[in-house]
Amino acid sequence: MASGRLIAAVILLGSLLSSPAGAEDVTLRSRDGSVEVTGEFLNFDGEFFQIRTVHGELMVDASGVICEGAGCPDLNAYVSTVRFSGAADIVLEMMPSLVEAFAARNGYDHRVIIETPERFIYELGDRPTNQIAARFFFDATNSSEGLKVLAGGEADIAVSMREVTPVEIRAAQAARLGDLTSPRQSQTLALDALVPITGDRNPVSSLTVSELVKIMSGEIRNWSELGGEDAPIDLHMRNRSSGLPIVFERRLLAQYDLELSEQVNWHLDSQEMADTVAQQSTAIALASRRETGNAKVISLRGNCGFPLDHGNNAVKTDDYPLTAPFYLYFPDRRLPKIARDFLSYLRTPQAQAVIRSLGYVDLSAELTDLDEEGRRLLNAILKAEDATGLTSLKSMVAELGNAGRLSLSFRFDGGISRLDTQSRSAINLMALALEAGFYDDRELILVGFSDGRGDAAANLGLARRRAIAVREALFEAAPTADFSRAKIGVLAMGEAMPIACDDEDWGRDLNRRVEIWMRYR
Amino acid sequence: MPEQPAFSQRMVSLAGTLAIAFAIGHVMQSGAQMADAVGLAPQGPVTPQVTDAIGVLDERSVSDLALTRASRPRSETVVARMARPSEPLVSPVVAAVTAAQSGTGLNAVGTVRAGKNGDRKAGGNCTVRLAATEQPAAMVSLRIEAPCYANARVVVNHDGLVFSSIIGENGTLTATIPAMVENATFRVSFEDGATAGTTLDVPSRRNYERVALQWIGRGAGLGLHALEFGAGYGDAGDVWVGASRDPSAGLRADGGFLTSLGNPLSPNPVLAQVYSYPAGRSVRSGVIRIRIRAAINDLNCGGWLDAQALQPDGLGGLRISTVSMSVPDCDRIGEYLELKNILLDMKIASN
């Protein structure tokens, strides 16, 4: 008797496991019988039928129709498949927690199947039916590989620790995957920061940014040049395909017209790199803020003495020069519903809390009031060169004394025409919050700043134009928000309150920014 | 249903594949074997009907906890299916959890649900009593008094941490269990369906970071390693079953300790290892790498190991991950399968 039941079960599973139904005609009939289409069955994504009719290919919402014919799929047996590929650090350390939290939140049971240490599959089970609803396949490789297999059609979502390169954008276009730079095809997952680490016995505990750059490019080769022992400096870094060297090159090395030294010890694994460096007092590495292991973290400062904090707020506001957003890229086609649900979930406060608990920097805006900005104010007062500087500081304190700063900043890729990537993702987050009414009955103030080069009045004008440009971008990104309830004001502060040194390119880049402040009305 | 040769042949090959897939040895083909897999099959002197045994798996708890098992994607088609479509296919450990949690009214101390033995010894006192007391280092001593269950297999479930053991000759068993949560619940279940439960608040739990791994069966080769503050395998800071320390290490606050749970001699043993670190009073700071290692042996090579990993979910709760891992082929016997990211590393700040 038991075997008879097993056979029945196997038949059922046979249909579940078979490849998608062949080219057979089906008829989709609306539940009230008023509409009927017949065509060749192409696909079912768990939500929509795709059929080829005499009128062309049609997508039909499965909830509204009944499928008749031999080619109809078994709707209950449909298993969504989503393939992730890319940066091992994110895939191995962040994704399992996120998938499990997503499963718990949406009432799925889960099980992870580990095929190799670099390849695993999450099965999400639907509780009421005890059927597998989805399989999420994960390949832990690196950013370059993830983007490559995305272009090759072997992944649905690429996981990257850096932005796409022009070559990768073209490859995706050639593969008819659309425009990977479009906001519809990418999403910022979380933020990270690169920090220098060394062995715990190394006496050097602080470096200026230009010292770090000279170390990594091989211009400074001995710790004695930095107040340490007379010993050659061993350079360590994650391998190039991880994407992390590119972050360092783009954000700092390029500004100094320098290149990474050829004497770098490359590492495939972040944990292994931190463990290696922790034991060598002559070693230095640029590591993810989250994966410093038992190594000693070296703090960075600007050449003029500004300390560069890499805490959550400084990373969110991009006031730290080596922030590294993590990205997801996907093709310009309809992903299964559960994949879209998962991507939406990643933007929720719940998912962001999981990301924060893992030691990464989440994207949610935090509020700090002016009291907590004391250090910045103090720096600003000390740097204020003349009466004009002090006057604008006074007006800033007067304007913002009863407001708090949100941990989002906006910066531009040169000029004021194009916001940089992290800022675009900040715009999208703000837009979502605005449309959801989160800032209703509050006043947002976009505060524009400039660097300290040139004429103060001209800088004030530039700062205002930047703030206005950000407001335009917010209006554009949040078409359904009620801006009569969430007021957005603009304030120009010019060169008051620098956050980095103006005598360096990267410092001026950081200073040219728009901050967002909020007060209750 | 009339048998169709093609399908019965397929069934045979499926069963064959399954035997390999579940290297720890559970082919869930029928109700009886399912019950065996979850540790509820007839053992020793107790011989309930199969229907009684699987009756413990009530509909609700199964749907709450179990994940349907169908095929293992991308590998050979390995299909395990329960007899009735309404009964899900569950991984052995999940099933054990389910079985141990499925009783009703478990919060009181003492017998909650009598099993066959209770009926048999009419007039005798077959009450199962539990007494939980807090021990140093956020440990709990759980004393089980089960006069009618001498030498019987018992499954203990503490908020998802599960292990099996054998009640002693004298009808008692005492286990020292690391508290996984502050408001700890303990449930014991016997193969005839008898269960009992108790609760205990363990406030010292908050001073400890804890992770656990549990699995079914001898020969799995599985184990936890905590590599403390830069230690490598085999170093003094490598805490594992072969160098486990005892809870006094935690009390001295200079290192962690490993607790092994479950009696490997119990039939169909459910075994667990828990690593504890006194994070709340640590004098050291840094990272403790948590590794899962499986020795590739002739019992598990080329097959699959099923386990569950328990760790903080980062939001104040406990996260339980059900894991099936592929073990490399038998030409690699003697090597280790190492998994670095199932259990996340502990980040310790000194106090």
Q: What is the pLDDT of residues A87-139, one digit of tens each?
A: 999 999 999 999 999 999 999 999 999 999 899 999 999 887 778 889 999 99
pLDDT tens-digit map of A187-240: 999 999 999 999 989 999 999 999 999 999 999 999 999 999 999 999 999 999
Expressed in angstroms, the distance from the first to the final Cα of chain A is 73
pLDDT of B114: 52
Total Cβ atoms within 10 A of residue B123: 5
Q: Which of A3, A114, A293 sits opposite B324 (nearest CB)?
A: A114
pLDDT category at A23 given cuts 50, 70, 90 is: low
Provide the 10 A C-beta neighbour count for residue B299.
17
Over 60: is that where the pLDDT of B81 sits?
no
In this structure, is the dihedral angle defined by the CA atoms of residues A472, A473, A477 and A481, taken in order, positive or negative? Answer: negative
Determine the residue among B50, B62, B68 to mutate to test chain A binding: the one whose Cβ has the most chain A Cβ atoms within 10 Å: B68
Residue A454 confidence class, pLDDT cut points 50, 70, 90: confident
Question: What pLDDT, on the 0 to 100 scale, is given for residue B25?
Answer: 27
Q: What angle do CA B282, B208, B224 make, to 5 degrees?
A: 100
Closest-CA residue of B relative to A11 is B7
Split at pLDDT 50, 70, 90, the class of B94 is very low
pTM of the model: 0.78
Q: Which amino acid is at B287?
A: V
| ipTM summary value | 0.79
Closest to A358 (Cβ–Cβ): which among B88, B287, B314?
B314
Q: Do B216 and B94 form a contact (C-beta atoms < 8 A)?
A: no
Mean pLDDT, range A288-304, rounded to an integer: 92
List of domains in chain A: 4-73 (2.30.30.100), 80-191+327-342 (3.40.190.10), 192-316 (3.40.190.10), 365-520 (3.30.1330.60)
Asked if pLDDT for residue B17 goes beyond 70, the answer is no
Among A192, A189, A157, residue whose Cα is nearest residue A352? A189
Q: What is the pLDDT of residue A307?
A: 84
Look at B313 and A114 and tell me if their CB atoms are within 8 Å: no
Q: How far, in Å, CA of A130 to CA of B69, rounded?
A: 9
- Cβ neighbours of B338 in A, within 8 Å: 117
Residues in contact with B183: Cβ distance below 8 Å, sequence separation at least 6, in sequence order? B199, B201, B202
- Of residues B259 and A451, more confidence is placed in B259
Rounded distance between C-alpha atoms, residue A392 and residue A28, angstroms:
68
Other C-beta atoms within 10 Å of A367: how many? 12
Q: Indicate the residue of B8, B287, B325 with minimum beta-carbon distance to A114.
A: B325
Contact A14, A43 (CB under 8 A): no
**DSSP character at residue A373:** G
Question: Is residue B22 scored above 60 in pLDDT?
Answer: no
Please compute Rg for chain B using Cα positions.
Answer: 21
Q: What's the confidence (pLDDT) of residue B23?
A: 26
* pLDDT score recorded for residue A13: 32
Whether residues B313 and A357 touch (CB distance < 8 A) is answered with yes
> What pLDDT is recorded for position B60?
29
Distance CA B194, CA B112 (A): 8
pLDDT in tens, A500-509: 888 888 888 8
Burial grade of A68 (CB within 10 A; 0-12, 13-18, 19 or more): middle
Give the mean pLDDT of chain B. 72
Confidence (pLDDT) at B238: 96
C-beta atoms of A6 and B81 within 8 A: yes
pLDDT at B115: 55
Nearest Cβ partner for A9 among B73, B81, B315: B81
Residue ranges with strand state E in B171-266 = 172-178, 183-190, 195-201, 209-216, 222-228, 238-239, 257-261
Q: Could you tell me the pLDDT band of residue B90, with boundaries at 50, 70 and 90?
A: very low
Asked if B237 has any chain A CB less than 8 Å from its own CB, the reply is: no
Tell me the pLDDT band of B116, cut-offs 50, 70 and 90: low
Please, are residues A427 and A516 in contact by the beta-carbon 8 Å criterion?
A: no
What mean pLDDT comes out for the span A424-450?
88
Q: In sequence order, what are the residues at sequence separation of 6 or more whose Cβ sits closer than 8 angstroms to the Cβ of residue A54?
A: A39
What are the tokens at A235?
A: 């350079």
Those of residues 313-342 in B touching chain A at CB distance below 8 A are: 313-315, 319, 321-326, 337-342
Q: Specify the higher pLDDT residue, A418 or A147.
A: A147
pLDDT per residue as tens digits for the range B255-275:
899 999 999 999 999 999 999
Tens-digit pLDDT profile for residues B207-232? 999 999 999 988 889 999 999 999 99
Burial of A337 (0-12, 13-18, 19+ CB in 10 A): middle
DSSP symbol at A361: B
CA B283 distance to own-chain centroid: 32
Least CB-CB distance to A109: which of B7, B29, B67?
A: B67
Q: Tell which residue, A301, A269, A265, A270, has the closest CA to residue A283.
A: A265
Residue of higher predicted confidence among B249 and B2 = B249
Contact across the interface for B11 and A10, Cβ inside 8 Å: yes
Q: When comparing pLDDT for A273 and A303, which is higher? A: A273
Torsion of CA A199, A204, A209, A211, to 10 degrees: -100
Taking the alpha carbons of A273, A274, A276, A280 in that order, is the dihedral positive or negative? positive
Cα distance between residue A143 and residue A268, in whole Å: 12
Comparing B56 with B161, the larger pLDDT belongs to B161
- CA–CA gap between residue B134 and residue A173 (Å, rounded): 63
- Measured between CA atoms, the residue of chain A closest to residue B228 is A294
How high is the mean pLDDT of chain A? 87
Q: What is the pLDDT of residue A204?
A: 95
H/E run at residue A14: helix A2-17
- Mean pLDDT value across residues A173-196: 91
Confidence at residue A385, expressed as pLDDT on a 0 to 100 scale: 67
The answer to whether the CB atoms of B230 and A275 lie below 8 A apart is yes
Model pLDDT for residues A348-406, shown as the tens digit of each residue: 888 999 999 998 998 888 887 776 677 777 777 777 767 767 777 788 888 887 888 89
Mean pLDDT along residues A173-181: 92
| Three-state secondary-structure class, residue B195 | strand
State whether the Cα torsion B228-B234-B240-B245 is positive or negative.
Answer: negative
The stretch B150-154 carries a mean pLDDT of 96
List of chain B residues whose C-beta atoms are within 8 Å of the C-beta of residue A113 = 72-73, 323-326
Q: Which residues contact B216 (CB under 8 A, 6 or more apart)?
A: B24, B26, B37, B92, B93, B96, B268, B269, B270, B271, B306
CA dist A89 to A270, A288, B223, B288, Å? Answer: 7, 10, 24, 17
pLDDT at B117: 53
Judge whether A367 is closer than 8 Å to chain B, CB to CB: no
Three-state SS for A500?
A: coil
CA-based nearest distance B109→chain A, Å: 31
Question: H helices of chain B, where?
Answer: 5-21, 31-37, 50-55, 59-65, 92-101, 116-120, 247-252
Report the percentage of chain B scoring pLDDT > 90. 54
The first and second tokens of residue A275, run together, are 């463990």
A9: distance to nearest CA of chain B, Å?
6
Interface membership of B286 toward A (CB under 8 Å): yes
Which of A185-189, A334-338, B143-147 has maximum average pLDDT?
A: B143-147
